[in-house]
Structure 1
Amino acid sequence: MSCMETIEAYGLRSIGLGERLLPRSDFTLCDQFVLIGSGLVWNVYFGLMALFFGFWFATALAMGKSSDSLLLRKPAEWFIFVFRGSPLFIQFFIAYQAFVLLPRNGIEINLGFVELTAQTRWLTKAWAGALIVLFLNTSAYSAEIFFGALRSIPKGDLEAAEAYGMTPWQKFRRVTFPTMLRLGWPAYTNEAIFLFHATTLVFFSGFPAWQQQGDALYYANYFADKTFNPFVPYPIVAGYFVILTLCVITGFGLVNRRLNRHLAPASRPRLRIRPQLVR
């Protein structure tokens, strides 16, 4: 099988398109690059979805933690403390065990005039259950970043907004939220990079890959087991993630320039990437 035929057969295998059976012998370098690259689609999916939903939830948590209301502040503080204080892998394990214990036939919800059944089987699948864990984890870390940014907003900016007669919503939309993003974006970029790296833990988390449609590390482990040579597939995974990290840095750098477009070029803060090796 030529390399082009391998790409056609296995390029989208991780999402159920192409050959169903994995190659069994005579593995080529092209086979490994194509299948591991195919699995990277899931890592990108986990990262993008967790970032998108986690961003808004983190903003709500940060606002809750900075609130004067005890009913808003304490739940936000405890949520952030629990998910930042426990290892991500343990969160995967607890979530999977909790989802498995849910009734297989779903949860019956009686509304009086109608009875609904909430399906729970999908929660034990990696595409859903693992995504929920990543979403909650990154929300907690991002909320702490945004909370620190909120505390760093100059009081003069807020007082000027109030003196101008802005409503609380207008002040948040035009002053608080943009300034929070501008101050917290460099640290949030590091969190986004770590989140994409953390998606590799899904392979070890216990959430099953449906019909062998796994992530990049799933296929790298497959080739390492079959060839007894881990020094080819795992560096390929690392190379793919280096490229993915460069894409994240580029994308977030463009957003950072947009957020600081009102500043002089010499005064614009530059992104400083500091990867977290241990969570």
Structure 2
Amino acid sequence: MTCWETVQAYGLRSLGYGERLLPREGYDLCQQFTLIGSGLIWNIYFGVLALAAGFFLAIGLALAKGSSRLWLRKPADWFVFVFRGSPLFIQFFLAYQLLVLLPRDGIQLPLGLFTLTIGTDWVTKAWAGALLVLFLNTAAYSAEIFLGALRSIPKGDLEAADAYGLTGWKKFRRIQWPTMLRLAWPAYTNEAIFLFHATTLVFFSGFPAFQQRGDALYYASFFAGKTFNPFVSYPIVAFYFICLTLILIWLFGRVNARLNRHVPSNARVRRARLLPQIVR
């Protein structure tokens, strides 16, 4: 089998397309790059969806933690404390064990004239259950980042907003929201990178890989076990994640430049010119 035939056979195997069985011989570089790259699709799936959904929950948690209302602040405090205080691997394990306890036939909700049945068999799948854990975990960490940025907003900006009569939602949308994002974005970029790296724990926790369709690290461990040489497959995983990290840095850097476009320090630097009047 040529390298191109290997790519055609295993390039989308993690999604259920192509060869169903894993290779039983050869284990050359082309097979390893192809299958590990195929598994990376799951890492991107978990990272993108968890980050997108967790962003909005993190904003809500940050506002709740900064609220003066006790019934808002305390639940947010405990939520962030639990998910930041426990290891992510244990969260995966406990979540799977709890989700397995749900009735396999679904949860029935009597609504008077009829009974609504909510299916629960899908929540134990990695694409749903593990995504839920990552979503809650990144929301807890990001909430602390946004809360710190919210408390770091210059007092003069808030006083200027009060002077212009901005209050409530209008004050938050026009003053607090953009300033908070600008201050929090560098740290939030690190959280995004850590989240994508954390996706490698999904199939090493309680969530099983259906028909051996795992992520990048899952296939890397398969090749390491077959070849007894971890110094090939694991560096390939590192190479893929370094490339993914560079893409994340570039994307978040573009957003950061957009958020700071009005800041004088981000203006284009002029070329140095020789000024004879100051040369001695």
Bin the TM-score by the shorter chain. over 0.9
Contact kept in structure 1, 2:11 and 2:38, CA below 8 Å: yes
Deviation (angstroms), 1:223? 0.9
Give yes or no for the alignment of 1:22 onto 2:12: no
Deviation (angstroms), 1:11? 0.7
Deviation (angstroms), 1:266? 5.2
Residue 184 of structure 1: aligned partner: 184
Contact kept in structure 1, 2:193 and 2:248, CA below 8 Å: yes
Q: Which runs of 5+ in 2 are unaligned?
A: 269-280
AA aligned to 1:52 is A
The 2-side partners of 1:66 and 1:117 are apart by 38
Residue 194 of structure 1: aligned partner: 194
SS of equivalent to 2:122: helix
Residue 263 of structure 1: aligned partner: 263
1:126-205 matched pairs, under 5 angstroms? 126-205=126-205
Superimposed CA distance per residue, residues 132-156 of structure 1 (whole angstroms, 9 cap, x where no aligned partner): 0011000000000000000001122
The 1-side partners of 2:151 and 2:263 are apart by 21
The 2-side partners of 1:173 and 1:250 are apart by 26
Deviation (angstroms), 1:267? 8.0
Deviation (angstroms), 1:72? 0.7
Residue 119 of structure 1: aligned partner: 119
Deviation (angstroms), 1:203? 1.9
Deviation (angstroms), 1:228? 1.4
Contact kept in structure 1, 2:41 and 2:215, CA below 8 Å: yes
1:249-260 matched pairs, under 5 angstroms? 249-260=249-260
The 1-side partners of 2:39 and 2:266 are apart by 41
Aligned length: 268
- TM-score, with length taken from structure 1: 0.93
Superimposed CA distance per residue, residues 6-59 of structure 1 (whole angstroms, 9 cap, x where no aligned partner): 111111111111111111111211000000000000000000011000000000
Residue 41 of structure 1: aligned partner: 41
Deviation (angstroms), 1:109? 1.0
The 2-side partners of 1:46 and 1:63 are apart by 26
AA aligned to 2:105 is N
Deviation (angstroms), 1:217? 0.9
Deviation (angstroms), 1:165? 2.2
Contact kept in structure 1, 2:260 and 2:266, CA below 8 Å: no
Residue 238 of structure 1: aligned partner: 238
SS of equivalent to 2:214: coil
Give yes or no for the alignment of 1:88 onto 2:96: no
Deviation (angstroms), 1:238? 0.8
Deviation (angstroms), 1:172? 1.1
AA aligned to 1:62 is A
The 2-side partners of 1:260 and 1:12 are apart by 39
The 2-side partners of 1:38 and 1:265 are apart by 42
SS of equivalent to 1:122: coil
SS of equivalent to 1:206: coil
Contact kept in structure 1, 2:261 and 2:267, CA below 8 Å: no
AA aligned to 2:249 is I
Give yes or no for the alignment of 1:52 onto 2:52: yes
Deviation (angstroms), 1:265? 3.2
Residue 5 of structure 1: aligned partner: 5
The 1-side partners of 2:105 and 2:15 are apart by 26
Deviation (angstroms), 1:208? 1.1
AA aligned to 2:261 is R
CA RMSD of aligned residues (A): 1.3
The 2-side partners of 1:227 and 1:166 are apart by 66
The 1-side partners of 2:18 and 2:128 are apart by 23
- TM-score, with length taken from structure 2: 0.93
Deviation (angstroms), 1:250? 0.7
The 2-side partners of 1:80 and 1:97 are apart by 21
